[in-house]
Amino acid sequence: MRLTYSPHYIINTFLLGCLTILPCLLSWGENDISNFKLGDVIIENKWEKFLSERFLYSPSQIQKTSVGATAIAWAEKLLRESSQIPQTTYTLYREFQKSGDRKLFEKEYFHKRAMLTATALLIYLKEDTNILPLCNDLIWSICEETNWVVPAHERKEKYTYIDLFSAETATLLAHILLFLDDKLPQEIKDRIKYEVQKRVMCPYLFYSEDKYGWVRGYNNWTGVCAGSIGETFLILEDNQEILKKALNLVIKQLSRFIKNAFAEDGGCLEGISYWNYGLTHFISFSELLYESTNGKVNLLSNPKMFRIAQYPYTVYLGNHKFASFSDAPSEFLPHSFIVHRIVERLIDYPHNTIANNLSEPLEQTTEQSLKASLIDLTYLHELASPDPTHWLFGNVIRNILWSIKYENKQPEPIILKSTFLPISGLARLVYSPTPKTTYILACKAGSNSEPHNHNDIGSFIFCVNNTIFLTDPGAGLYSREYFSAKRYENIFANSYGHSVPVIGGKPQSAGDKFRGKLYWINETSVNVDFTNAYDVPTLKSAIRTYKIYEKGLTITDSFLFENNGEPVQEALLTWLPVKISNKKAIITSENGILEITTSVGKLSMESLKDHCIRNNKDGVLTRITIDIPPKKEIKVLMRASYIPNIN
């Protein structure tokens, strides 16, 4: 019988074979080895050098720590509740293509990988070899999957494309090898190396700069994909020429990530969760590279990292809540290993050496730039998530190892002060009229073409004593339509679902030319010019002024039209109960109420319950509206007054 092979099998087998002759191929043309950014820096990627903190604590010591015990309890519970290996079937994979539902397949996909992480943790920390067969079966099952790219990210280059989760699957398996090499069967170890090379390492070397859009550095994808792949090469690749070729690409792409994915003032327009996600593998890779070069290459030695590290402070609302602009969540804490290591590298023991021949150079850290930081970066320790668990083994083990020394240290509380990022168009105002009352306003300008964009220029969040009264509702349901041309049919991305006006019957428009401008007035007031956020030809100007004062918040919107004016509908969004009474909208919370009045127009309210159900939201969003008839000049003063409960 004659064996037949599919085209993708033949291609991948060819690419694997090319690895053996790659050093010769790389001597041609623009791939000349002499062009490596790392130059003569020696890469000592011996496994005993990586994650050196693991040699400071024995597994029995880690078990006694709070963070270690939490991880073990999570792993044991997960495996108790998982009776069998999740099945990532063809039918589930094609459900996204059929209905646009990405959750059905991804639930099984990530649960399988979480189970692998759980088994690896218990084998490493508790030396529980009884679950080694399950660990082997999980590895084998992942290696048997037709595609590590999730269906929502599938491209026409089906078997050569690398997405977020195929890259993370590669580094997951590489880290499993790093920690369990002496326990896994040789056949399993060989299978891991073969599949990772075939699915990630070979395609990356051959195609990344030409075919992968994420290499340009404009969002979290670059940090995640390039960082994960860099980790994988450092752990698995023995050939120094191939390794340097890969690291050359990774460093170039990560330098673009720092340059392009963050504004010059350090802002992350994707929101706090994507700040966390993008930096996860940037930092993990940077630290492995730091260790393998004996500290000679430190990608965190970059003045822009100081500004990037200050971004969470600007959007922090207190009580573990963040501004939920774009697709960001409201309640969130970053991985502990990220925030601890940022502080350590930039403040506690900064190191300013970077490879000298980077084609896209990263600037050196200097004492002057250290002193220029306006915010004490140690605030980041307070934001560290106490939960070390995650589906990705490398994240969990770093959360454990890099957090142990902070367990008995109580970080200083974060003192919130008014601040802004002028280039990102973000501001946070803080005012405490009494010791028991603090008002916080977060607002944005920016453009309507940002990563994970919402049409939300002028959107804001207003909190009183950790209660969010007026909100930005955050992300809609991730689906095929949400990441397509139909995105703005979803009110969570449309300006209709934000606290911004509808002008002349039109919401804000999407696109880079639809922009706003933020103007800082003082610590209690800021302006947003959102004239250009609207495709309304008769609109000459639209300017919003926020001011927090003793009683709460005022929002003043001023509109000027060329003709006799257009109708304006103001909108204020809240997740809390609302009623309209005596020309007031009253928002109720456990600790007090917020009374909203308007100088002109008629107050009413609209429940967005159906939209919330379609987007799998737990609460019900209410849209408080103020309808104002056409007029050449319109000025509307909306006053939000806080009245605390009297106990």
Q: Can you give the pLDDT at residue 360?
A: 37
Which residues, at least 6 apart from 591, have a Cβ–Cβ distance to it below 8 Å? 464, 465, 467, 644, 645
Q: Which of 506, 471, 461 is nearest to 488 (CA)?
A: 506
Q: Does domain 419-644 have CATH number 3.30.160.250?
A: no
- The ranges of the chain annotated as CATH 2.70.98.70 are 419-644
Q: Can you give the pLDDT at residue 37?
A: 64
Q: Can you give the pLDDT at residue 374?
A: 63
Contact 510, 484 (CB under 8 A): no
Q: Can you give the pLDDT at residue 647?
A: 66
Q: How far apart, in Å, do the first and last CA atoms of the chain sit?
A: 86
Q: Provide the sign of the torsion angle of the four alpha carbons 163, 169, 172, 176, taken in this order.
A: negative
β-strand partners of 442: 428, 461
H or E segment to which residue 69 belongs: helix 66-80
Q: Can you give the pLDDT at residue 646?
A: 79
pLDDT digits (tens, 9 = 90+) for 31-90: 332 233 677 788 999 999 999 999 999 999 999 999 999 999 999 999 999 989 999 999
Q: Can you give the pLDDT at residue 123?
A: 97
359 vs 601, higher pLDDT: 601
Query: Is residue 349 pLDDT above 80, yes or no?
Result: no
- For the segment 239-248, the average pLDDT, to the nearest whole number, is 94
- For the segment 611-619, the average pLDDT, to the nearest whole number, is 96
Identify the residue whose tokens are 């990037």: 308
Look over the chain and give the mean of its residue pLDDT values, rounded to a whole number: 90
Q: What top-level class would CATH report for the domain 7-406?
A: mainly alpha
- For the segment 208-212, the average pLDDT, to the nearest whole number, is 91
- For the segment 332-359, the average pLDDT, to the nearest whole number, is 71
pTM score, whole prediction: 0.90
- Cα 338 to Cα 280: distance, rounded to the nearest angstrom: 6
Which residues, at least 6 apart from 91, have a Cβ–Cβ distance to it below 8 Å? none
pLDDT digits (tens, 9 = 90+) for 258-315: 999 999 999 999 999 999 999 999 999 999 999 999 998 999 988 899 999 999 999 9
Query: Is residue 609 pLDDT above 50, yes or no?
Result: yes
| Bridging pattern class, strands 584-588 and 578-581 | antiparallel
- Cα 606 to Cα 404: distance, rounded to the nearest angstrom: 49
Within 10 angstroms of residue 594's Cβ, the number of other Cβ atoms is 25
* Helix (H) and strand (E) counts in the chain: 18, 21
- Cα 363 to Cα 520: distance, rounded to the nearest angstrom: 29
Which residues, at least 6 apart from 190, have a Cβ–Cβ distance to it below 8 Å? none
Long-range contact pairs involving 104-112 (C-beta distance under 8 Å, separation at least 24): 105/150, 105/151, 106/150, 106/152, 109/150, 109/165, 110/391, 111/82, 111/86, 111/391, 112/85, 112/86, 112/88, 112/138, 112/141, 112/142
Q: Can you give the pLDDT at residue 302?
A: 82
Q: Can you give the pLDDT at residue 42?
A: 84
Which residues, at least 6 apart from 166, have a Cβ–Cβ distance to it below 8 Å? 147, 148, 149, 199, 200
Phi-psi region of 325 (alpha: psi -120 to 50; beta: other; left: phi over 0): beta
Q: Can you give the pLDDT at residue 40?
A: 77
User: Among 4-13, 64-73, 524-533, 579-588, which stretch is predicted with the lowest mean pLDDT?
Assistant: 4-13
How deeply is 64 buried, as exposed, middle or buried, from its count of CB atoms within 10 A (0-12, 13-18, 19+)?
A: exposed
- Cα 12 to Cα 26: distance, rounded to the nearest angstrom: 19
Q: How far is CA 339 from CA 178, 327, 362, 366, 406, in A?
A: 24, 21, 21, 21, 12
pLDDT digits (tens, 9 = 90+) for 539-572: 999 999 999 999 999 999 999 999 899 999 999 9
Reading the block at residue 467, the tokens are 């209660």
Contact 51, 401 (CB under 8 A): yes
186 vs 375, higher pLDDT: 186
- Cα 591 to Cα 581: distance, rounded to the nearest angstrom: 20
- For the segment 9-16, the average pLDDT, to the nearest whole number, is 43
Query: Is residue 12 pLDDT above 80, yes or no?
Result: no
Query: Is residue 344 pLDDT above 70, yes or no?
Result: yes
Reading the block at residue 366, the tokens are 């200097």
- The ranges of the chain annotated as CATH 1.50.10.100 are 7-406
Contact 598, 642 (CB under 8 A): no
Q: Which of 482, 484, 487 is nearest to 509 (CA)?
A: 487
- Cα 294 to Cα 287: distance, rounded to the nearest angstrom: 10
Q: Can you give the pLDDT at residue 376?
A: 87
Query: Is residue 626 pLDDT above 80, yes or no?
Result: yes
The pLDDT > 70 percentage for the chain reads 90
Q: Can you give the pLDDT at residue 39?
A: 73
- Cα 455 to Cα 510: distance, rounded to the nearest angstrom: 6
